[in-house]
A and B are shown apart, each in its own frame.
Chain A
Amino acid sequence: MISLTILARLASRFSFSPVPLYLGLGLILSEHGIFSLDVSREFIDAGAELGAILLLFLLGVEYSVDELTAGVKRAHVSGTIDLTLNFMPGFIAGWALGWSLTAAFLLGGVTYISSSGIAAKLMRDLGWLGNRETPAVLSILVIEDLVMAVYLGVAAALVLGASTGGLAWSILGAVGVVGAVLIVAKRFGPHLSRLVFTQSDESVLLGLLGMVLLVAGIAEQVGVSAAVGAFLVGLAISGDAARRADRLLGPLRDLFGAIFFVFFGLQVDPSTIPPVLLPALALVVIATTGKLVTGWVAGKRFGASSGGRLRAGALLIARGEFSIIIAELGVEAGLEPELAPLATAVVFSLAVLGPVAVHIAGKIRQHTPNMPIRAP
């Protein structure tokens, strides 16, 4: 715990994401065997799962359904480019390494999704919310998060080894559940928010947590991964209720999130990383390029000059929390032993490289006076 505190402090001082540091800590602990896994395995297991659920729930809380639909409308072209350019490298790499389809699909997810946490933190810390490319970046992140809700459902089904028919069913199920919740949230969101948010902080906290876990549990029963359920509950909550949820559950998320990332690092034996360094390096290069192209296209659509387009791309480079959640799905199911070390190496490098690229991109300035502001 103390080392976590020190790391979090360090991370916020350098406006870095603590995620790679947590991962690193897990790795170091696993190497020296300081930490005895068997003793508290169950506690950590439960804590890690709770962390992932809270992470997705609060991500959903940040968005409203209107924002999601608007985001999709404004950036579906760049969103598609993003999916193609960044999912395929991981997928193909997995396939080239001779992995199963499921493992390759998971690696594709790892390379696809940008860390909205790292990107949002960078934009806030650098005071870039007023930048012209900012709505482009945010729209891409919104689309990615929405894709993720469906993706996690499919991935969960694949990992469980569903048949083709069962798989088609669960894809339909995931899309259906996401769609249904979006509609319900749009119609009844305010009522739902009022229902939960009436009394003291304590009862709100317990009520919310209960609701999230209940829906997450139901989602898992139907075969649509608990994380998706949590994300969707978050979407349904809006306004003042959302603010309160964020304030009350934010600290819990940070605590259990940290446990989740350290736990993931703990599962990876550091000696398994060097053999996968070469594919990891290739993936880092391709995944960086993919995001730069995505940012360029998205920024252009929002009327940003080349400097802004570059910043947009750089902001998207970092991978983080979601990639690890996806990789964890594979680790839990005991898929390819190379998945965890490869994902760790890729996410760790990109989570460090991304912010560095953003700082460099911020130094490049373009002289483009009197450009009209274009409404997207």
Chain B
Amino acid sequence: MSNDLYRLVYYSRNAIIGDAATLAAAITSILTWSQVNNQRVGITGALMFNSGCFAQVLEGSRSAVEDMFERIQQDDRHGDVSLLAFDPAPTRAFENWSMGFVGASIEDAARYGVLVQASGFDPARMTGEALFATLHGLAIEEEYSNNAV
């Protein structure tokens, strides 16, 4: 059934050329449009930018996820897209996120993204499950701290 819930996890290399401000602006734009479009088609998920890589989880109906992924594939702002998982999922893990940004703030990620490589977080070396777990963990942390405020 194409209405069943599916989850897709990928990472890709940043292809946006420019200084930290340009990169931060581009990420903000990506995020804004994801949120606008995802709400309409019932997609939830999280985006992270780190070490010059985008990592993203998309969840929604199979056809919505496939359409969204196709649009992502056609996007020039990244390359070397590695699809780590695309499977049926029992429930949504990002119920309240039309597309959350997790990890450091966008500005910090854009400014220090390249430096973080040394710290050992490398999405290219992670399985789909591990990447999903990382993003999910960060999302929960974020939700918790937002609620705490």
Are A and B genuine complex partners? no
B residues near A, CB below 8 A? none
